[in-house]
Amino acid sequence: MHIAIIGNGISGITAARHIRKLSDHKITIISAETEHFFSRTALMYVYMGHMRSQDIKPYEDWFWAKNRIDLVHDYVEKVNYEAKSLQMRSGKPISYDKLILAVGSKPNKFGWPGQDLKGVGGMYSFQDLEYMEEYSKGLDRAVIVGGGLIGIEMAEMFHSRHIPVSFLVREKSYWNGVLPAEESAMINRHILEHGIDLRLSTELKEIKDDGKGQANAVMTNKGNTIPCRFVGLTAGVRPNIGFLAEGDLETQRGILVNEYLETNIPDVYAIGDCAQARNPQPGRRPIEAIWYTGRMMGETVAHTICKQKTKYVPRLWFNSAKFFDIEYQVYGDVRAKAPENHDSLYWEREDGKASIRLVYDKNEGHILGFNLMGIRYRHEVCEKWLLSKTSLKEVVQNLSLANFDPEFYKQYETQIVALYNEKMEDKISLKKKRSLNSVLRFLGSRG
């Protein structure tokens, strides 16, 4: 059996590796981006000079031939599902028995005037990195549009080369659709401390042309003009499925899949950023463009293809990132706007550059999530507490078990315990006050 995989990101590569572990099937990975798999999250470090391009390849080039995984560096122009054939740009078609679509994402464009000018690009692919590199020579200012994780990575990249950056964020505070208010405010301060021209509640209106097809300024919705020679579009990503529009494949924003990652077409699967769950699990989004979900989908689909049909069940939600010097970790259910049954214990370090938020169910008392800035907790410990619905009291008493900061770093568990005790005393006092008021109202009604 021949299994063709379109896309050599984490999901497609994981699928190929596990299919090889489980079978002797013929495997072909097709990618137009790069010949070999690389770590996408490390692209920024190549630009910043911390790593070389060859350093971000997790496997040596000989790995693929040794494991009998064929690599094809080419574009797929069209998929003929009935004939089970891929039409290639090079001209020679590739036939398959089963097809895995792991085609990833591409940066959003929202129809801004000038968005297709030279000097306008995103930061997702290896080609995007090369494009940034090309336009960084002699660059006197860059403007970044979009306040997510990719935007702040791009800002750090330019900042590392002392290129001034204006950062347009349409929200009132950075990433406040994901981060609670205190953490969002912390990152606002941190961005400004690094000399970034952060402009909140500001949207891109137009990218100006220098008359030769090159971007040379942006106009904002506030009427301001910012001269620049590079515009970074980092307002999120969307599934890269344009070339799959023709045919019977069912799509919405992404490629629709069931719990086994099967599409509506027999022997065709979709995984990673491009896959959209028809019936997402409670609390999960239909599309989750996260590294670990792509890896899990790749392993799951490998078992299904190798006759061990397996449902895709995502693990507990987690994510991590870095905002310049502040590391970020989130485990479980932490929302920007807490629902009625959520409460949290929030501690922030005196310098405003580290914080711990413990989210819990205020009715049941068990832990729901951890939000960490500048402090590391052990994944396995947090996951155990969350899955077992450990009480907030027990979590606070044992926080040292989770702490993953290096030896000799200052510990803050005693401060969290003191904060917890203070909050519980306030609750008890409030409960007593309410009880007393009830008694007084009752006596008053009798009098």
Task: Tell me the domain boundaries of the chain.
Answer: 2-106+238-305, 120-235, 318-429
Q: How confident is the model at residue 398 (pLDDT cuts 50, 70, 90)?
A: very high
CATH number 3.10.20.30 is the correct assignment for the domain at 318-429: no
Between CA 443 and CA 429 the distance in angstroms is 21
> Is there a contact between 77 and 243 (Cβ–Cβ < 8 Å)?
yes
In the block, tokens 């307002």 appear at 235
> Is there a contact between 341 and 362 (Cβ–Cβ < 8 Å)?
yes
- CA 210 to mean position of chain CA atoms: 34
Mean pLDDT (whole number) for 79-106: 95
pLDDT tens digits, 404-444: 887 777 888 889 999 999 888 866 665 555 554 554 454 45
% the chain with pLDDT above 70: 95
Q: Look at residue 168 and tell me whether its pLDDT is greater than 90.
A: yes
- CA 247 to mean position of chain CA atoms: 30
Q: Look at residue 303 and tell me whether its pLDDT is greater than 60.
A: yes
Q: What is the pLDDT of residue 429?
A: 60
Between residues 202 and 282, the one the model is more confident about: 202
Measured torsion, CA atoms of residues 314, 320, 321, 323, in degrees rounded to the nearest 10: 140
Between CA 59 and CA 62 the distance in angstroms is 8
pLDDT tens digits, 112-159: 999 999 999 999 999 999 999 999 999 999 999 998 999 999 999 999
Q: What is the pLDDT of residue 307?
A: 84
- Provide the token pair at 331: 């485990």
- Provide the token pair at 272: 């990673």
Between CA 128 and CA 150 the distance in angstroms is 12
User: What one-letter code names the amino acid at 279?
Assistant: N
Measured torsion, CA atoms of residues 193, 194, 199, 203, in degrees rounded to the nearest 10: -150
For strands 142-145 and 165-169, give the pairing.
parallel
Between residues 315 and 440, the one the model is more confident about: 315
For strands 85-88 and 94-95, give the pairing.
antiparallel
CATH fold of 120-235: FAD/NAD(P)-binding domain (3.50.50)
pLDDT tens digits, 332-362: 999 999 999 999 999 999 999 999 999 999 9
Q: What is the pLDDT of residue 440?
A: 45
Q: Look at residue 98 and tell me whether its pLDDT is greater than 60.
A: yes
Q: What is the pLDDT of residue 181?
A: 97
Q: Look at residue 201 and tell me whether its pLDDT is greater than 70.
A: yes
> Are 2-106+238-305 and 120-235 the same fold in CATH?
yes
Dihedrals phi, psi of 390, to nearest 5 degrees: -65, 145
CATH superfamily of 2-106+238-305: FAD/NAD(P)-binding domain (3.50.50.60)
For strands 255-257 and 268-270, give the pairing.
unpaired
pLDDT tens digits, 228-279: 999 999 998 999 999 998 889 999 999 999 999 999 999 999 999 999 999 9
